[in-house]
Amino acid sequence: MSANTMQLVIHSSYFIAALLFIVGLQRMSSPVTARNGILWAGAGMVLATIVTFLYPGMSNFTLMIAAILSGSVIAWVSGKKVEMTDMPQMIALYNGMGGGAAAAIAAIELFGGKDHGLTFAILAILGGFIGAVSFSGSLVAFAKLQGFKNTTLRFPGQQFINLIILIGIAALGAYITIQHSSGNIVSLFFVLALLLGVTMTVPIGGADMPVVISLYNAFTGLAVAFEGFVQQNPAMIIAGTVVGAAGSLLTQLMAKAMNRSLAHVLFSGFGDAATESIEVKGSMKPIDATDVGVMMAFANKVLIVPGYGMAVAQAQHKVWELTQLLIERDVDVKFAIHPVAGRMPGHMNVLLAEAGVPYDIIYDENEINSEFESTDVALIIGANDVVNPVARTDPSSPIYGMPILNADYAKNVIVVKRGQGAGFSGIENALFFLDQTRMLYGDGQEMASELIQSVKSI
């Protein structure tokens, strides 16, 4: 094959791979087509990887194949084993690897010290910097979420120290760009960038971590796109840009749904599970599953609000079984989903889809909120913060301003949870103390089973 034909094959294949990424992403936007979307994007990645072997000047094939095989085995095994509740830290880890890979590409180019022109050097520096920050920052995020490092380190002048490190990185980056220096200066540049990723992430609280992970995901995309320009590799440019754009949109969406500005997340140092307890008047009134079953079976309308606890209890299948029994009794049952219920965007939708709940009875917060007033029973299963009315009423609350599901407007509210445990924000929930609220204490799956028995026995 002539060199020109080879170039044509490579570039056309990269173009097709990029199209597959975009089609895959488009299909991931709906739960109906999401699984299929992953296959499309995966096919794009396989094609891009195969074509890379044909790239002019490629060598070290044994090393490449060994890396691909070991990476694939590790990803396959960990992907199969990971619990749904541990997904955010898994994403943080994989995301960090992407950033690290982009930084490694930049490091190889920069250590070479060759003069490929100003644009080349600037892009390599930018990609290396963002990739390294994203790598170490994502690893810290992983460690925090995995519970390796729960404490959040904050001290006066922290942001000033970060600024000094940033200025140092900028100065070194400019020096390397102009002088084409290699060796120790480049090493110092990367050490400082890695350090900044750590010092930037360490003060951010656990509650904000998923937003930070999403931000680093966008950073990784950007770093890969920059390195794509350096490598003259269109697949990297397109994939990086797509990841960068998708990550930025997701970050914005999550910050909005939690009512946190990005600047707040990154610089305010809040976001830890709050320790302050908001005083709530009244008491929590328990109820048993038999009574709840009767209440639901004779209701006209039931709204089910799932939250993180449903994921922990893996109660989605039982909840769907209960829903079917109620529908058979002509009860109007719908699911109300908050955008940040659970621990990642779409968490509840994924679980309900896995259990086979049809999409036409699953509603987003803005579609369903007006229906709580006409609801006989709001069944809150493992949700807490996303139904806490203090978000509407108490300006001193850490979740003040966060849009919530209006469960407190329902005629009867049943809350399924194991005990007095707080939600992610760590604060008391005023909903649990309302006159129309009853607490059904127990594990989400066990309680759903008892409700099924109760409805069946009527």
CB of 148 vs ligand NAP, minimal distance in Å: 19
**Which residues ranging from 251 to 270 are in contact with ligand NAP (CB under 6 A)?**
254, 258
Asked whether position 342 contacts ligand NAP by CB under 6 A, the answer is: yes
Give just the sign of the alpha carbon dihedral 354, 360, 363, 364.
positive
386-396 in b/e burial notation, b at 16+ Cβ within 10 A? bbbbbbbebee
CB of 204 vs ligand NAP, minimal distance in Å: 12
CB of 325 vs ligand NAP, minimal distance in Å: 20
Asked whether position 419 contacts ligand NAP by CB under 6 A, the answer is: yes
Compare residues 131 and 423 and give the one whose CB is closer to ligand NAP: 423
Asked whether position 309 contacts ligand NAP by CB under 6 A, the answer is: yes
CB of 264 vs ligand NAP, minimal distance in Å: 13
CB of 291 vs ligand NAP, minimal distance in Å: 18
Q: What would the x/- binding string for ligand NAP be over residues 185 to 214, using CB under 6 A?
A: ----------------------x--x----
List the one residue from 216, 320, 335, 424 that touches ligand NAP (CB under 6 A): 424
Closest CA to 369 of 360, 378, 357: 378
Compare residues 351 and 383 and give the one whose CB is closer to ligand NAP: 383
Asked whether position 313 contacts ligand NAP by CB under 6 A, the answer is: yes
Compare residues 254 and 379 and give the one whose CB is closer to ligand NAP: 254
Structure tokens at 170: 């900028």
Asked whether position 421 contacts ligand NAP by CB under 6 A, the answer is: yes
Asked whether position 347 contacts ligand NAP by CB under 6 A, the answer is: yes
- Of 223-231, 240-248, 286-294, 303-311, which segment contacts ligand NAP by CB under 6 A? 303-311
Asked whether position 142 contacts ligand NAP by CB under 6 A, the answer is: no
Region of 341 on the Ramachandran plot (φ > 0 left; ψ -120 to 50 alpha; else beta)? beta
184-211 in b/e burial notation, b at 16+ Cβ within 10 A? eebeebbebbbbbbebbbbbbbbbbbbb
List the one residue from 134, 397, 425, 454 that touches ligand NAP (CB under 6 A): 425
CB of 44 vs ligand NAP, minimal distance in Å: 26
CB of 211 vs ligand NAP, minimal distance in Å: 6
Q: Using CB under 6 A, count the residues that bind ligand NAP.
A: 33
Compare residues 214 and 375 and give the one whose CB is closer to ligand NAP: 214
Q: Which residue among the candidates 272, 330, 360, 385 is catalytic per the annotation?
A: 385
Catalytic annotation present for 394: no
List the one residue from 205, 240, 247, 444 that touches ligand NAP (CB under 6 A): 444
- Of 124-132, 321-329, 338-346, 449-457, which segment contacts ligand NAP by CB under 6 A? 338-346
- Of 161-169, 295-303, 321-329, 423-431, which segment contacts ligand NAP by CB under 6 A? 423-431
Q: Which residues are catalytic?
A: 385
Contact positions vs ligand NAP (CB under 6 A): 207, 210, 254, 258, 307-309, 312-313, 340-345, 347, 382-386, 416-425, 443-444
